[in-house]
Chains A and B, each alone.
Chain A
């Protein structure tokens, strides 16, 4: 039995189909990332798993139970980190952790947890006095109080500084290594790449790819990517290489390489040299997850989407980035 299973989940918000036939599983001991742009349906999916919403169709199971109808069998065994905290504005970190600890049969020690997320010296501050990163770390600690078997983390590192991210990533890793199933929503590729064992890429409510990082990277490796100045004559280059070349974003080119042409790189660099074009960088074979993501979530009818997604990633969103 999978710790979490989602089968053909559909959730509608009025006329909008927020989640459209999504299926995946998460196993004990692994970190599963739901990766997708804002508005892809990640938060809605996780909310159904947490028991907030009922599916319009499809079936979800958490530890073998329906979280909506068998709430009592689920809530004591899951840990939740909401995107927006969910903490009394006037409460102090140890008070919040002690409050939650009283609700579980065998809770973790709140003071140990506080030390683990590095907030011991902020024990006298109220929630609203904490920085965004500190609030995220407290939220993470809150998810761990009940010694959960399944943890849902919604954008756990949003608005967190580099050191805070390291702390959070390490805790997530330790959780999985301790046998917990971790389901993590993120719109940041970096994050998925750094912490996830498996990734489910969602876009506009649909799953567009599922697999380990290696599997996903291998999926689209029948191509060579390079960067140079924008607006090269891709048709002429394509004729020279006897394949197709596309400019996926300004100055970013993809050369189709279905036959794994062993002279492709040499021919490409030769053509660029003849045309006095400096080569930025060149990647063949293994893709970065970002490239996979951009290819999979690009919509042919909306040529700007790839660029929008890419710049959205660089810009990031604030801690209170709205639900997705």
Chain B
């Protein structure tokens, strides 16, 4: 267990979408892995936690604070998917875009540390980057913006050596005291997590 502040994520959510019904519970902290087959409800659960969807019933608590009815921009929760980016920016503008929104005083050494750690050794317009580069950049931008919680929806999938990337990201997130819930198609990725949940047909099970 990391020696750091624990931001407890506590979630009990119900949501019906057409014929699909999600009934999920999650109560943990630090680095949480969420696995499940396609259509099991992983993205729906992250969208509910992030505020993209509203639950039919239930709540989302982050560090003992109810955020269920807050809009996305007030939750301090960053959502990263393979499509997450701001396409018209340059790489360096992109990295600090979130921090500037939040008027954070970010040291350039910190930005360099994140860039080096996550292998952001490229530049240029974001919409000209490969998918893997964009995923690295989106994760890095989110880290620099210092949310309380990062939701990563298969945004490691196109990154080369993603096991190493995940390990480095995990350390950087821990250092910045950011909790993470990530979904993955690779079961081995869960070995790097503090906790592992599996979703099956909208029902969540805590594996450890």
A and B held together in a complex: no
